[in-house]
Amino acid sequence: MVPQPPTSKSSPPPAGNSSLSPPGKKYKNCFSKVFAFGDSYTDTGNAHFMGGLGSFLSFSHSAYGSTFFKKPSNRLCDGRLVIDFLTEALGLQYLSPYKATSVNFTYGCNFAIAGSTSFSKNYFLRNKIGHSLMWKAAPESFKTQSDWFKMFLSNVECEGLDDASCKSKLKEVLFWIGSMGISDYTRFFGFTISKTWLTNIAVDHVCQLVKATLEKGAKYIVVQGLPPAGCLPCDLSLSKPNDRDEMGCSASANLMIMKHNELLQKSLKEIQKTYPSCMIVYADLWSAFKTILMNPTKFGIQETSKTCCGCGGGNLNFDSQNLCGSTGATVCDDPSKYISWDGVHLTEAMNQHLTDLLLHQGYCQPSFDQLVSHRKSN
């Protein structure tokens, strides 16, 4: 079964979250469903059901899910993800992963796969890329999610409908394309490649997915940029001590992500010109993350670079060969005071702060309120 929010009052925000905006009702009934895509920051179970994370993290038998669900929830987090807080704000239930054995697609579907990349499995196997870090199995490509989406429309959402009727139905759906590309940059770490080449491929695959949804009838799309992953324990542990930017993060990693985000925004503007009747919103995860990182106490954060659940101790408490869920891993007393949950993924508290900034504090361009207003007037 897919974990769902309590049927009574919404759970209180994590301790120290005085900056969070009140839930309100202004987004309720705006969208009948949400279709989500992305990587581990958005995946609510697909990688788990596919067996793709067995060698990455033993998250089904550890502290994952302990903060909110009180049990493993097939999410790479101690609790909820941004997509979960989004569906709460919209008054919808949490999204069922496409590959779940017991499914309820009444409120939408989640196609995101943890570890997704722009390249095919064969590419990684042929070039022996990515096996030196935390991953042992070859990843799924973003194309898999696009293929799933098309099959879902044919077999579930639009079964028996003609093309025009299907497109009309999708006008009531919010398409949320979560962060996609971090796995590309992390898996190629240490390889001598053209960074421009990699960025162009990563952004192009995100845009291909955006176009695939538009061609099928998507009218409202939110596309997340990448966060400054160079600030997370994983990248900090892999980079050299002198490779630091003004935030104290891996300068080389963040430079690639900044270029990715710049190219993505430029590309989305071009796509918008081709589909003027649709609304494409860029969710600036980089700026939202940086706002929290540079003002941690405002958000109740005490540890900006240390892993809550991990091994190794020290300033990072991160070991790429012994992750959260491994024997000997320790879990912090209060995850809400941490940005990073396991060195790679974020805590529920961080996800909640990011969602608040994206939805309520103007970190989307155009703003999420503008998207909702457009939906209500059409």
What is the separation of C-alpha 58 from the centre of its chain, rounded to a whole number of angstroms? 19
Catalytic residue flag (residue 342) = yes
DSSP codes, 177-236? E----HHHHHHTTT----HHHHHHHHHHHHHHHHHHHHHHT--EEEEE----GGGSHHHH
> Which one of the listed residues 342, 353, 356, 360 is annotated catalytic?
342
> Which one of the listed residues 40, 116, 179, 305 is annotated catalytic?
40
Residue type, 337: K
CA distance 373 to 378: 9
Cβ count within 10 A of residue 268: 21
DSSP state of 156: I
Catalytic residue flag (residue 162) = no
Exposure letters 195-214 (e unless 16+ CB within 10 A, then b)? eeebbbebbebbbebbebbb
Residue type, 179: S
CA distance 38 to 115: 9
CA distance 161 to 145: 22
Q: How many helices, marked H, and strands, marked E, lie in the chain?
A: 12, 10
Catalytic residue flag (residue 131) = no
Residue written as token pair 């879990």: 331
What is the separation of C-alpha 169 from the centre of its chain, rounded to a whole number of angstroms? 25
CA distance 51 to 56: 10
Contact partners, residue 363, CB within 8 Å, separation at least 6: 283, 284, 285, 287, 288, 291, 357
CA distance 52 to 205: 21
> Which one of the listed residues 48, 205, 260, 345 is annotated catalytic?
345
Active site residues: 40, 342, 345
